[in-house]
Amino acid sequence: MTIQIYNTLTRKKEPFIPMEEGKVKMYVCGPTVYNYIHIGNARPVIAFDTVRRYLEYRGFDVTYVSNFTDVDDKIIKAANELGEEVGELTERFINAFHEDVGALGCNKADVHPRVTEHIGDIVDFVSVLIDKGFAYESQGDVYYRTRNFEGYGKLSHQSTDELKIGARIEEGIKKENALDFALWKAAKEGEISWESPWGAGRPGWHIECSVMAREHLGDTIDIHAGGQDLTFPHHENEIAQSEAMTGKTFANYWMHNGYINIDNEKMSKSLGNFVLVHDIQKQIDPKVLRFFVMSVHYRHPINFSQNLVESAANGLERIRTAYNNLKHRLATSADLGGQKDSWLHKVDEQKAAFEQAMDDDFNTANALAAIFELTKLANVYLVEKNTQSDVLDYFIKTFGDLMGVLGLPFDDVTGLLDAAVDALIEERLEARRNRAFNRSDEIRDELKEKGIILEDTAQGTRWKRG
RNA sequence: GGCGGCAUAGCCAAGCGGUAAGGCAUGGGUCUGCAACACCCUUACCACCGGUUCGAUUCCGGUUGCCGCCUCCA
């Protein structure tokens, strides 16, 4: 079955057919780097990292590009306030971004282009738009002439008349039309700037993505993604710029993720109701956070609260426990026969359910349901008297593969305990054999305080860190 | 005003024409020396009112409530 993707452009799920068979060109709008990212900022990174992983799991060769906006008003303001160079500030927060998002299990993009590395390309691009009549210079600024782009509004499904009513800046001295937007902004006194045919200045916000996507992926890309709030005006403007430039479709599939809310309201820097990834991961395992995000379809809002995250933690723990117990069983029991094919088949059924869910517009909530079914199967298998390493292996491999697609690889807990702890576990076993349960319970309590939880099974005592 | 989303058990969340997946929590039971892990059982008139249909949580119209974009924003 082909993967179905909900395309904002058509407002429908469509079969995903990349331009070139087996290859996917994907562009995800990245952050403006003037602060640590909050968990709302992290959602698209997680969501589209998962999309990428699944496409790769399905055998596609994905080229993934995600930019950094490393020059704009907010950055300049922040740098001024901190008395820091723009470049220093952005470098710092780009590093922080990689750390935060890495902790959340997101892979780096193949290319992380930065605006400041593409100024020349941007100037060239804007010049062509002017030549083609899609842009005009005005007092050192350059604006996009929306009136000349016929498809303006097609992504957000708005007519230009309707858009005009809500436009912030009236047309007037500088702009021909209220909907026109800046491609190039003249520098103010003392601001970081670059030379251009229109004087010293810097790029407007939208132009960078058009330029960098084209530079790194070509005129047309398969998937362009970002947060819901980028649909208008950012992505609408990107389409206007790019399609005016090339005359070709800019992106075939537009994907937009929903927000993370606090008390049912959008988390945003301007509202001040945000939680920084940098801070929260000191209290919450970042993998739990990712698991929590995965529990909801990417286009739907997620309400964030400590309680909900704790519930999610319990769910994830259940999966981890089953996985570790499978490993323990594999390590402690030889092949003892028993059913094989029927179990392999049951695992395959859940794997198929997982794939079916992911094929359907990356429905991670349903994908997780399949993983929970797999968890139950594993737990049932684990209490069988006879197990086979082939089956255990297949369970373990499948768990690893599927959780890997969700960016939730299992931590390796096979690391050894120190000798003293080993000795205590051994002593406890001996005590139990002698039915000296006081001593055995004492040891169990003692280890528990050290964060080591013991569980007795027919195959011996297994331990985990609690 | 324009465009859009959401409303499903105590909580979270799928489903979207044939009488409701999954998770968390609760209660009961089984397993265990006791635990833990685990397993079994337990809980829903799908916001409201109309319509279409043999049949609607699912489609259409309307109502109410909440949220978002139209302004920097993931």
Report chain B positions within 7 A of protein CB atoms. 1-6, 11-15, 21-25, 32-40, 66-74
Is the CB of A318 within 7 Å of strand B? Answer: yes
Instruction: Look at residue A286 in the predicted model and tell me its pLDDT.
Output: 96
Residue A154: per-residue pLDDT: 95
Whether any strand B atom is under 7 angstroms from the Cβ of A257: the reply reads yes
Helix (H, G, I), strand (E, B) or coil at A261: strand
Residues of chain A with pLDDT under 70: 166-173, 334, 413-417
In this prediction, residue A167 carries a pLDDT of 63
Integer distance in angstroms from CA A291 to C1' B9?
Answer: 23
Q: Stated in angstroms, how far is A302 CA from B48 C1'?
A: 25
Known binding residues of A are 29, 209, 234, 238, 269
- Å: A228 CA to B3 C1': 13
DSSP track, A62-83:
EEEEE-BB--SHHHHHHHHHHT
Q: Is the CB of A325 under 7 A from strand B?
A: yes
Distance A319 CA to B26 C1' (A): 21
Residue A328 beta carbon within 7 A of nucleic strand B: no
Nucleic strand B under 7 Å from the C-beta of A302 = yes
Determine how many CB atoms are found less than 10 A away from the CB of residue A237. 27
Burial class of A341 by CB neighbour count within 10 A (0 to 12, 13 to 18, 19+): exposed
Query: Does nucleic acid strand B have an atom less than 7 angstroms from the CB of A88?
Result: no
CA distances (Å), A38 to each of A96, A261, A403, in order? Answer: 12, 11, 24
Who among residues 109-128 of A has its Cβ near strand B, under 7 Å? none
